């Protein structure tokens, strides 16, 4: 699968996340306060909780279920109770459209 349109940039306010499905994969599109957009698997590795419902700040997305935080670039947990990373997918912005490739990951998961 190649880069696939997932959302418009204006649908994701800085400091928020949006759940989308790309190629059958649930993805949390997270927009950091600096405006950068990241795509992570939309499932906390600690529990079956949607990450897209969590807060985005300081380069991390927080799982609302138990407070685990994941680095937006690496997918690594930065806050317990999660100990396993989540998949991070490539993202491109073209003409205010967010594109994601779920056929490969940036962190080898």
Averaged pLDDT for residues 4-12: 97
> Which three-class secondary structure state does DSSP give residue 102?
coil
In the chain, domain spans: 4-100
> What CATH code is assigned to 4-100?
2.102.10.10
Contacts for 108 with CB less than 8 Å, ≥ 6 apart: none
Residue 1 has pLDDT above 70, yes or no: no
Predicted local confidence at residue 69, as pLDDT: 95
Query: By C-alpha distance, which of 11, 79, 20, 92 is closest to 44?
Result: 79
Contact between 71 and 59 under an 8 Å Cβ cutoff? The reply is: yes
Greater pLDDT, 39 or 108:
39
Per-residue pLDDT band at 65 (split at 50, 70, 90): confident
Q: Which of 8-12, 26-30, 72-76, 105-109 has the lowest mean pLDDT?
A: 105-109
Residue 51 has pLDDT above 80, yes or no: yes
Greater pLDDT, 48 or 55:
55
Cα Rg of the chain (Å, integer): 12
């Amino acid at each position: 699968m190649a880069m696939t349109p997932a959302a418009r940039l204006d649908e994701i306010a800085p400091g928020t996340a949006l759940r989308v499905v790309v190629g059958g994969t649930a993805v949390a599109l997270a927009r950091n306060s600096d405006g950068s957009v990241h795509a992570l698997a939309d499932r906390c590795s600690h529990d079956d909780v949607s990450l897209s419902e969590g807060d985005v700040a300081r380069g991390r997305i927080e799982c609302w279920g138990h407070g685990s935080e994941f680095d937006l670039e690496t997918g690594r947990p930065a806050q317990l109770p999660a100990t396993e990373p989540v998949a991070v997918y490539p993202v491109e912005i073209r003409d205010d459209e967010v594109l994601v490739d779920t056929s490969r990951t940036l962190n080898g998961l």
